[in-house]
Structure 1
Amino acid sequence: MLNTDFYAGAVIRLATLQKQRDQAGQLLFATVSLLPRGRPLPPSMEGLHRCPVGKTGETVFFRRVLLSAQEAVKWYRSLGSGDDSSPTPSQSRECNRYDGIKIDVSALIDDPTWPYLGLPIGEGLFAHPSGRSHPAPFIGNAPSRVHRRFGSQDGFALMLADDKAVAFVARRLHIDLRLYREYLGSIVLVVPDPVLKQIDHFMIPASNDRGERIFYHFVPRAGESPSDLKLTTFDKQNHLLTDFATQDIPSNGILDIDKGNCIGEYGYIVSHPKHGVLAYSPPRPFLRQVGFNVEIASPETKIVRVPINESANSQYMEYQAARQSLPATRSLIGDALRIPNVNARVAIAASLREKLASSEQYGQRWFPDGSREEAMRFIQGELRRAKSRVMIADPYLAGLQLGQFLYAVNPETTPVTLLTSRLAFKSIKQKSVKTAWWEMIIEGLGFKSKQQVPSKIKDFDQRLAQMERDAKIAAKVYVLQSPILHDRFLVIDDAVWFLGNSLNTLGDKASLLVKLPNPDEVIDQLEGMLKQAMSFDNYKKRQDLKGTSL
């Protein structure tokens, strides 16, 4: 069990979302942070903070209270019982009318199983977390273990759509819930390292009588000793594990380990017989040299004023031109390796393999000039694998592409949505019709005169009907009236492909196709465009009323 005797108290930070006045607030997110002995308690908070969610009528409330460590853990474990209330401060003088009131908490799932704690290792415990890939950004820079209780994520859509509300929570709970949506409706227990205050870890250069060494200094908290701790070190060199060793940490907290030459990467784990793993640092190389480039920039600032597009009535914008500078002064601080090192050679080759693997993961495909058939067969193959949906967003999607690609889709399982634009149905200008090459095309298609050539709208309509008759594919087609879409996208299930060219020319000239790493953003934007677009049937009727020949 968690021993709260090592802690002087706890700070509870609680954010709730109230959807209607006089209604219990719904747990949005909360942290229970234990405070190590010797660390002063923060001042108590008067009242609470609130943030309206736009004009929705919803409000985010925040309250911070101080409890004893034992009472805080008891409140943390009591949540999700169906009779939940906000915490009441241990000191009665700090209580106010916002404490002990009913809150709405869903059933909670422990992660990990209670009473075990987990050590966040996303970016290294003593590194500055970026706040994006770190699994627990709310712990800050203090080495801490966590326990999480995940609740329902439902009911927070309006709050997440409001930038002000998201920023309000981020400032007070140190987490962006738009990025870390897994924590919606949840609560976390943050348990700082009860033994160690900090760890100093660096390399000592070689001397005349000794090689390079790694120095560790474990600084305990007041009243604690590092003598019960164990250090496990693991060395890595060129993707090889070269050493793995465990040793006791002496009472003075100092370890000086001979390595000879520190040309690899070095990591460690610190563990305690009762508290478990307290610290982790992934394998990293030591920094040996630092290069500096010093440039003296001209004090003169030049502002460039340019139009934002080629329109005669274009608006103008200004930006600052680069400042001219004198030639840079370069300096290098630190000593180079004493022995030849192949790390760079291996790293360059590994980086190349990673790039190739990444391009394969995201489906990056380059189609050289004249590879039209290859590009078409690739798209057809991807469409054939579709299971739940296909959406093609291409402002120049026309009738011919329906037969070129969509017959590969299984109509029994996969609905098809097409988003095109009026640009796909623009008529050929009269002066172009008079050219000899156009006359040859007309004759080649079997038309006796250009008056018999069907309009692009009619051709598209006929090919849609034929596709429905022959392949039972009833595509939903939408037409954008304004040119708000420039790029081309192919949505297959939950993946989105970006097409450098339209489907009607992909591979005719050199083209690039790539699967996007964040498809959700593009799908949301495309679905928003669908709402702005007109159905093809209505577009066709409108053009007919305008006198367009079908």
Structure 2
Amino acid sequence: MRPWPFELDDDLDRPFIAAMKRTPTYKAQGSGSGENPRLLNKRSEAKFPLVTIAQHSERPSADNIPNAASSKSPAVPDFWFPGAVTEHRPTGICAVHRITVQQPYFVIPHNAWTEQVELIISCPERGILDWQEPFGFVREVNISGSLVGATKRVIIPGKNGETDHYDVPMKTAGWSSTRRDAVLAGGIPARLRSSEFDRQRADEAARLGQKWFHGSHSEATTFIRDLIGKARKRVWIVDPYFATTEFFGFALATAYDDMDVLILTSGEELKKTDQIDAVREAGEVLLSQLESRKDMSHIKVRVMTGTPAVHDRFLVIDDKVWLTGNSLNSIGDRAGMMISVPEPSVVVDKLNEIIHDAQRTKKLSEWVANRKAGGES
């Protein structure tokens, strides 16, 4: 059998449109033989509809109805398809209406307040022909506008008398229109919806690893070391304030000796006096530690020269990227957030460009040699 062509027909007669204003509309349209009429929907303006109205625009032939081809069969009705409409309630309880459709238009009253409607069309011989996933209804629509009048120019003073500016279009309140349906306030459904939204936000925060640290450096460092310890492929630590103390505190927390570990720090930090060896700079001490210990051969350190190309702090663990506002040398001391970015590959690509840019970064050994030769001021 050739497939049934489907399309959503917006040219319905005006009385039908008026009847559908506050209810969802299901419509299937097609011609020829076929077995998969697809029901399409128009979203409703009502949050809790009282009825569901459906329409089928074409009378199927006897060849398309099981057991209808026999001469003993009754006359083919205007419409024939068994189906079910499922109401999803605010309490989570569903009500299922099972019907056999035999008219072009049919009305299915809802038994109670309904938040979502799901529709299934089935055939006794062929099984499910179509499934309309649950969809809700718009509870409130707000349209507002504002008037743009004068433009405000802000002058930004700069160095050596130089200035910059930007313009701000000034707006005044214009008009606002709100259309809404009556919604039952309070009660169990409202509390259930509120709790559901809270759970969704908490689940999203957990998925992104959202962590808030304040007043506990040990809690923050333990969390980061646990992340590093779970790595299987790679660990990148990008922190402009990363030096010898942080190196021992985090870079050695990997559980596998052959793990690729990359540190991207800044020359500004490595020029400072080392916290462990007070007579040498941090860069020289860090290089001597790397060269003297074989168990650190898998760790590479690159140094951002001049003004660091990266400001934020990133932690790349395998295929995940974590962002933190505080440097690892002080994380947890002051209030700060740490979160896993939703699209890590973009961040990894950008960091990779900086890491391998010879104009912006150098190997630690090269940087220290240039520093001793007076090339790095």
TM-score (norm 2): 0.75
Aligned-pair identity in percent equals 22
* Letter of the structure 2 residue corresponding to residue 219 of structure 1: S
Aligned CA distance change for structure 1 residues 143 and 419 (closer, same or farther; 3 Å): farther
| 1:337–1:217 CA distance, 2 compared to 1 (3 A) | farther
Q: Check the 8 A contact 2:44/2:138 in 1, yes or no.
A: no
By how many angstroms is 1:518 displaced? Answer: 1.3
Within 2, Cα distance between the matches of 1:221 and 1:543?
87
**Residue aligning to 1:387:** 232
Secondary structure at 1:301's aligned position in 2?
A: strand
Question: Does 1:265 find its partner at 2:119?
Answer: no
**CA distance in 1: counterparts of 2:204 and 2:47, whole angstroms:** 38
Matches within 5 A, 1:463-502: 463-465=289-291, 468-469=293-294, 471-482=295-306, 483-502=308-327
Aligned residues: 339
Which residue matches 2:367?
539
For residue 326 of structure 2, what is the amino acid of its counterpart?
A: N
Are the equivalent residues in 2 in contact too, given 1:215–1:254 (CA < 8 A)?
A: yes
Is 1:424–2:276 an aligned residue pair? no
345-354 or 279-288: which moved more?
279-288
The correspondence of residues 240-319 of structure 1 with structure 2, limited to 5 A, is 240-250=92-102, 252-272=103-123, 277-287=128-138, 290-292=140-142, 294-295=144-145, 297=147, 299-305=148-154, 307=156, 316=164, 318-319=166-167
Query: Once the two structures are superposed, what CA deviation does each residue of 1:229-259 show, in whole Å capped at 9, x if it has no partner?
Result: 3322222223623212432222x33221122
Q: Residue in 1 aligned with 2:349?
A: 524
* C-alpha distance 248-500 of structure 1, shift in aligned 2 (>3 A): same
Answer yes or no: is the 8 Å Cα contact 1:383–1:390 preserved in 2.
Answer: yes
The answer as to whether partners of 1:200 and 1:216 remain within 8 angstroms in 2 is no
TM-superposition CA deviations, 1:388-437 (whole Å, max 9, x none): 11111112211111111122113434111111122222347xxxxxxxxx
Change (3 A) 1:496 1:292: closer
**Given the alignment of the two structures, is residue 373 of structure 1 paired with residue 201 of structure 2, yes or no?**
no
Matching residue's letter, 1:456:
A
Does structure 1 retain, via aligned residues, the 8 Å contact 2:37–2:130? no
Conserved in 1, the CA contact under 8 Å of 2:43 and 2:137? no
Q: Is the 8 A contact 2:83 2:120 kept in 1?
A: yes
* 2:151 counterpart letter in structure 1: K
1:411/1:473 contact within 8 Å kept: no
Q: Which of 384, 388, 397 is 2:242 aligned to?
A: 397
Partners of 1:501 and 1:462 in 2: CA distance? 27
- The verdict on how the C-alpha distance between 1:393 and 1:313 changes in structure 2, with shifts beyond 3 A counting, is farther
Give 5+ residue unaligned stretches, structure 2.
10-24, 65-76
Residue type of the alignment partner of 2:87: D
Give, in whole Å, the separation in 1 of the partners of 2:231 and 2:39. Answer: 54
Contact conserved, 1:198 with 1:220, CA < 8 A, in 2? no
Q: Is the 8 A contact 1:489 1:497 kept in 2?
A: yes
Q: How does 1:28-177 map to 2 (within 5 A)?
A: none
Normalising by the residue count of structure 1, what TM-score does the alignment of the two structures yield? 0.53
Check whether the contact 1:227–1:248 (CA below 8 A) recurs between aligned residues.
Answer: no
Alpha-carbon contact 2:313-2:324 (below 8 Å) kept: yes
On the 8 A contact 1:457/1:540 being kept in 2, the answer is yes
Contact residue 87 and residue 94 of structure 2 kept, 8 A? yes
Name the amino acid aligned to 2:116: E
Between the aligned partners of 1:194 and 1:348, the Cα distance in structure 2 is: 39
Instruction: Report the CA distance between 1:312 and its aligned residue.
Output: 5.2
> Residue 276 and residue 537 in structure 1: after superposition, are their counterparts in 2 closer, same or farther (change >3 A)?
farther
The equivalent of 1:355 in structure 2 is: 201
Report if aligned partners of 2:47, 2:136 keep a CA contact under 8 Å in 1.
no
1:511 positional shift: 1.9
RMSD across aligned C-alpha pairs, in angstroms? 4.0
The structure whose RCO (Cα within 8 Å, separation 6+) is larger is: 2
For residues 212 and 249 of structure 1, the distance between their equivalents in structure 2, rounded to whole angstroms, comes to 19
Q: C-alpha distance in 1, partners of 2:202/2:41?
A: 38
Amino acid at match of 1:285: G
Cα distance in 2 for partners of 1:487, 1:201 equals 44
Task: Please name the residue that 1:510 is paired with.
Answer: 335
Structure 1 residue 375: Cα displacement: 1.2
Cα shift at 1:324: 2.0
CA shift in 2, pair 1:245/1:304, >3 Å: same
For 1:351, what is the secondary structure of its paired residue?
helix
Q: Which residue of 1 aligns with 2:253?
A: 408
Superposition deviation, residue 548 in structure 1: 6.8
Give the superposition deviation at 1:530: 1.2
Q: 1:283: how far off?
A: 2.4
Q: Which amino acid aligns with 2:269?
A: A
Q: Which residue of 1 aligns with 2:87?
A: 235
Matched, 1:320 2:172: no
| In structure 1, distance between residues paired with 2:78 and 2:258 | 63
Secondary structure in 2 aligned to 1:408? coil
How much does 1:475 deviate?
A: 0.9
d(CA) in 1 for partners of 2:283, 2:263: 14
Amino acid at match of 1:477: V
